[in-house]
Amino acid sequence: MDREATAVAGETGSHVGLLKVLGPVHVWALGVGIVLVGEFMGWNYGVGKGGAFGALISCFVIGILYTCVAMIDSEITSTVAAAGGQYAQAKHTIGPLMAFNVGLYMVLTYTMLNASDIQVAGQLVQIAAGNMNVTIPWQPYTILCLALLTLLNYRGVLATLSVNFVITALAFLSILVLFIGVKPWAPHEVLLHSQLLTALPYGWLGVLASFHFGIWYYLGIEGTCQSAEEVRSPGRALPLGTMTGMITLLIAAAITWYVVCGLLPWEYIGWDAELAPLYDAARVTGSSTLTVILFIGTLFSAIASANGCINDAARAWFSMGRDRYLPIWFGAVHPKYRTPFRSILFLTPIAAIFALYIPLAEIITFSILSGLLNYTFMPINMWKFRRKWPIGSIRRGFEHPFHPIPAGVLLTLCVATFFAIYLGYGRQLLSMMLFYIVASAWFAFYRYRYVRRGDQFSMPWPRPQGY
């Protein structure tokens, strides 16, 4: 028996499993809770790349990308109902090296998103205090937020996602309140689109460049897959929670663009130092009530996103530890709370370091790039999944329509978005690709020896066609 197999069985989770306690509402809360912060901040950097109309075009084009992601994920994850989401999919359809990379993509996507969320939460507190002529540092509030959310995740997934449902719903409601408050039925009374909007200031190349931050409207909706092992009915809860979450985000994104671009000049919206455009839009109205509501909504959205990111990143890391892609120590399940507690505690300091020392736009780009690499894998995964196990050969919880069109569209849009990121952050893109190449080499030449290849296929499926 190798050294890593000497861990106590209960400690590594071989007979202490995750609890199946979640329903569609919790899946919706996980997906939308992670992503909704993108409506409150981050998307506006795309306005600086392509202007207001460029950001609107990217909003809907990237919305198509994520609709394809949601459909593909809903089919495969409702069939491969295991913690780890796309990582678990890759194990069954492609192989260990791809699975390792996909797992790493997901962990860094959510950890970097978590870092950006808590940084925003701390800075919002600082901004609100500054508006009351009180000067305070933002860093302690960032760490306090992270510590409280880590404790919540440590103590159980049901409480974590129940809290997420409440605060996510309130954050979404704040967007609707602002929309009503600016009187959209009288567009020239408060909203001034005719005066503020211009044609494409940087042409169609600027529109393409704005795809980079258009992703921020939706980044993380694929995180619903991380709950697959903890939902009561994967075939119903995962597709329903994911697709309704995508509809929610499309509505929120359209409202956000309409309101903000009708109240603020596009040059200000796309400014690098602009942290919270919805909050600033509420302040421009002159209504103290709307200002308070949008401050709370922005803060809640950041907290909900960070909360969901801790949940998702830990489950991906836990799954990789449980399968020996990482030290098996990370595969432990808490005997009382039934959570992947070691993975939760290990990733928290990483998020804290990035939140405290790295600029927001760079953290967002790190998260986006990792997520985009994951999405690029999905079309390949979908084609291989349908080829190995055609419709009718195994029981699926959901069958997405129009295959292979969504996979082809997704791959095309991923390539276009990689080019968009290269236009503005080429050095960071190349650096991250080098990092993932080095990580792959480490796995292939060192870590793979610990993987039990025969244990990777946990689904009771027939032999794939062609094998």
* pLDDT confidence tier of residue 356, bands split at 50, 70 and 90: very high
Q: In this model, does residue 392 exceed pLDDT 70? A: yes
Asked if residue 464 belongs to a domain, the reply is no
Query: Whole-angstrom Cα distance, residue 127 to residue 121?
Result: 10
Contact 242, 85 (CB under 8 A): no
Local structure of 22: helix, strand or coil: strand
Q: What is the pTM of this model?
A: 0.88
Query: Whole-angstrom Cα distance, residue 45 to residue 335?
Result: 44
| Residue pLDDT, tens place only, 285-336 | 999 999 999 999 999 999 999 998 998 899 889 989 988 999 999 999 999 8
**Average pLDDT, rounded, for the chain:** 88
Percent of all residues in the chain with a pLDDT value above 70, rounded to a whole number: 94
* pLDDT confidence tier of residue 5, bands split at 50, 70 and 90: very low
Q: In this model, does residue 12 exceed pLDDT 50? A: no
3-state helix, strand, coil in the chain (%, to 5): 75, 0, 25
Asked if residue 463 belongs to a domain, the reply is no
In total, how many domains does the chain have? 1
Contact 273, 120 (CB under 8 A): no
Asked if residue 13 belongs to a domain, the reply is no
Asked if residue 10 belongs to a domain, the reply is no
Which residue in 150, 263, 224, 260 sits closest to 398, CA to CA? 224
Query: 108: domain CATH number?
Result: 1.20.1740.10
> Which segment of 146-150, 154-158, 415-419 scores lowest on mean pLDDT?
154-158
Asked if residue 224 belongs to a domain, the reply is yes
Asked if residue 206 belongs to a domain, the reply is yes
Structural domain range at position 297: 24-451
The per-residue pLDDT for 18 is 66
Asked if residue 265 belongs to a domain, the reply is yes
| Residue pLDDT, tens place only, 363-381 | 998 999 999 999 999 999 9
Asked if residue 260 belongs to a domain, the reply is yes
